[in-house]
Amino acid sequence: MFDISFSELLLIGVVALVVLGPERLPRVARTVGHMFGRAQRYMNEVKSDIQREIDLDEINSIKKQMEEASTSIKQSVNQFSNQIKDPLEEARKAVNELGQDTEQVGESLIKDTKITSDPAPTSPASDDRPGDKKE
């Protein structure tokens, strides 16, 4: 992390022993260790916060792309359904008109059938039978 070799660390330890003395050196080393640990935790928290923000930006970007795709699909479906609705509505009207025409034709047939079903005057029966030939 700091690019310090073992010999440099040993030199720092010897100088600290000479300057601080053997009585205070363990306490100072412990305090420096705690501070170093806090600094590491702080750096890890900052890294994780930055990573979360990056992930959040990626997620928001993906979410935006998905919403755009969803909107595009909805528009396509609406256009397609509108294209289908118009011919279907025309077909429905044509079927309704056909049904009305069929009802009118059926009613007129019923009237015509009633008129023709009334007994028509018949001519008197002739004595001629088709099998009898008069000569």
∠ CA 47-52-54 to the nearest 5 degrees? 95
Report if residue 120 sits inside a domain: no
- Pull the structure tokens for residue 28: 């100072």
Q: What is the pLDDT of residue 120?
A: 54
Q: Flag whether 122 is in a domain.
A: no
Q: Is residue 43 part of a domain?
A: yes
Does any domain span residue 2?
A: no
Tell me whether residue 73 is in a domain. yes
Q: What percent of the chain has pLDDT over 70?
A: 83
Does the pTM of the predicted model rise above 0.85?
A: no
Range of the domain at 97: 7-111
Q: Is 16 in contact with 25 (CB distance < 8 Å)?
A: yes
What is the percent of the chain where pLDDT is above 90?
A: 28
User: What is the count of structural domains for the chain?
Assistant: 1
14 in any annotated domain: yes
